[in-house]
Structure 1
């Protein structure tokens, strides 16, 4: 049955409705009369209780399968090795990823299909006309909304068929399992030992030569001139390949600059970290890790192009402007027997942007020696 109501819940007067239709006919903007809602035909579930119960069982079954799929997700996550692959004709796919995708996808699909089936077959089915009103809600409107919410709850049938609500809550609750388990895939727990072996260390070691970052030709101290900046890498980087090479390059990249020793400040604790005004710093900005090499010779400033953090390479890489909070890490260098620049040791502090577990007590600060 078609139910035409005002926003306050009162029935629309048939005469007023007919008059409104005549008005649209007279109005040249509406040459065709409003035909009104089509005839409402009841659904099978509206007139047959057995059909309604059957639809309710279908929805509950869909919701009930979701916890099974969620448990399957967890089992696959822990039981299926990442090295297992399956073949689908020409496709060669990871078995674990396929299993996780199928179980999580089917769980979400069943919740969606079950909710659609619930709405199409079991929720109350009648047509309404709701007239537009102002944005400000009156007390009557608030009470009307509350009544409608109450009516909607009754129309959903959830009070008469509690299995629908219980099965839906169980399905949504079970979906938390794959979500929680998936957090473990964000990465290993950043323990002190793991940090020391990964993000807090580079491949720089004592005696490693400083080389041009493209040709890997070693750099002689005597070949550098005042004001020059060189982008460089450790010589042992060329021995790595693939992901290992990219990971180490991202951490070990450096810049080498030569400045007039009389125009820069070299702390007493870093006197042996330089060679005749040649200093070496990490190329990775301490703000968010952008590579930097915008060099201003006169001021000895190095500018990060991402967020304009500026470091004074003539004063131990201290921050003079921008959002970076830590000085640029400096690599201690010397020369070998052939006059080539080599590392005196690795970096004394982690390079790159800060992280929660990082200890900043060894970072260089103004006034340190």
Structure 2
């Protein structure tokens, strides 16, 4: 039993061409065959000089914005104090200096990148080029072709023609490196005399950091380790962290006959010696004391100091001995300092010598 239906006439237009049949056959054999590049479509800027100039002004505006942001970055160091705190929603309370530095530098770098991308996408040549693979070592003809392509690319980029873009790009690129120069200044406080002096001075009482009471010689027993701060340093004062980072003190009592260094013995009081608690490697607080050997160990990088021999370094990366504080007893029987440390505390710095 056969079925019949309507028949439509077949014309040559409805038949696939030989090229289409060949392409279908290639795809059937290799479904990942290279389909080739689509026809190139010119951008608006390629055919409309008015649009090209608008893109040029946009790129120049971004580069100019980068220059302004870089200047704002540098100005932030002069205008905003380090301890100025502001509230910014939703970030909360943050340092106005850190916020201004981050925002200005981020805008400066983003504007250069955005300007370069917009320049490439709207004004530089976007025609696709196919280059066959070749050996790593280029022949003279290939080298000549590369140079020719470079010259052609430079010409198509319109770098020489678009002077506004060129000049603003040079301005942005020349100013951004200044941010690194300014950051070098903020790697630490300017030494001047800040690192050479602490709160210790002649007549300052040694205050037990645990009890907040002045220390007497009888409070320090042989083999014990006591931490002390100068009289007048309170935890609620604004610069407490900065001051204790320089003035923190270790008090140890050693039998006078076991003290090897003469100056250490002269600067002690009945075997009670006072040394800086700040490690001379990277400034970690020292807190581990070995009674039998009179060694103290920094827990950060294991620098070891001999407190019976001028606190010299006997192991680890520390560069020099712990500074000693000369002490005595006042008329009321309390331990007091006879001056400041003999040298700057903590790690070495350029002007230390």
**Secondary structure in structure 1 of the residue aligned to 2:151:** helix
Structure 1 residue 335 corresponds to structure 2 residue 294: no
Paired with 1:69 and 1:88, the residues of 2 have a C-alpha distance of 20
Task: After superposition, give the CA deviation of every residue in 1:326-345 in whole Å (9 maximum; x if it has no partner).
Answer: 21111111223443322232
Task: Give the equivalent residue in structure 2 for 1:300.
Answer: 294
Structure 1 residue 157 corresponds to structure 2 residue 158: yes
Moved more, 158-167 or 92-101: 92-101
Task: After superposition, give the CA deviation of every residue in 1:268-314 in whole Å (9 maximum; x if it has no partner).
Answer: x4444222222111101112211112212222111222222221111
Query: 1:24·1:34 contact (CA, 8 Å) conserved in 2?
Result: no
Gap regions ≥5 residues in structure 2: 1-20
Give the superposed CA RMSD: 3.8
Paired with 2:89 and 2:339, the residues of 1 have a C-alpha distance of 53
**Secondary structure in structure 2 of the residue aligned to 1:348:** coil
> How many residues end up aligned between the 2 structures?
330
Paired with 1:218 and 1:96, the residues of 2 have a C-alpha distance of 40
Aligned 1:236-251 pairs, distance under 5 A: 236-238=232-234, 241-251=236-246
Paired with 1:85 and 1:322, the residues of 2 have a C-alpha distance of 39
Normalising by the residue count of structure 2, what TM-score does the alignment of the two structures yield?
0.76
Choose the corresponding residue for 1:212, options 208, 215, 222.
208
Task: After superposition, give the CA deviation of every residue in 1:86-139 in whole Å (9 maximum; x if it has no partner).
Answer: 9989989988887777665555444333222211111111123445566x4434
* Change over 3 Å in CA distance of 1:70–1:321 after alignment to 2: closer
Report the CA distance between 1:318 and its aligned residue: 1.4
Query: 2:203·2:336 contact (CA, 8 Å) conserved in 1?
Result: yes
Paired with 2:99 and 2:300, the residues of 1 have a C-alpha distance of 39
* Change over 3 Å in CA distance of 1:64–1:245 after alignment to 2: closer
Gap regions ≥5 residues in structure 1: 1-17, 360-369
Structure 1 residue 26 corresponds to structure 2 residue 29: yes
Report the CA distance between 1:183 and its aligned residue: 6.1
Normalising by the residue count of structure 1, what TM-score does the alignment of the two structures yield?
0.73
Aligned 1:183-262 pairs, distance under 5 A: 189-191=190-192, 195=193, 198-238=194-234, 241-262=236-257
Query: 2:74·2:179 contact (CA, 8 Å) conserved in 1?
Result: yes
Task: Give the equivalent residue in structure 2 for 1:168.
Answer: 169
Query: 1:21·1:34 contact (CA, 8 Å) conserved in 2?
Result: no
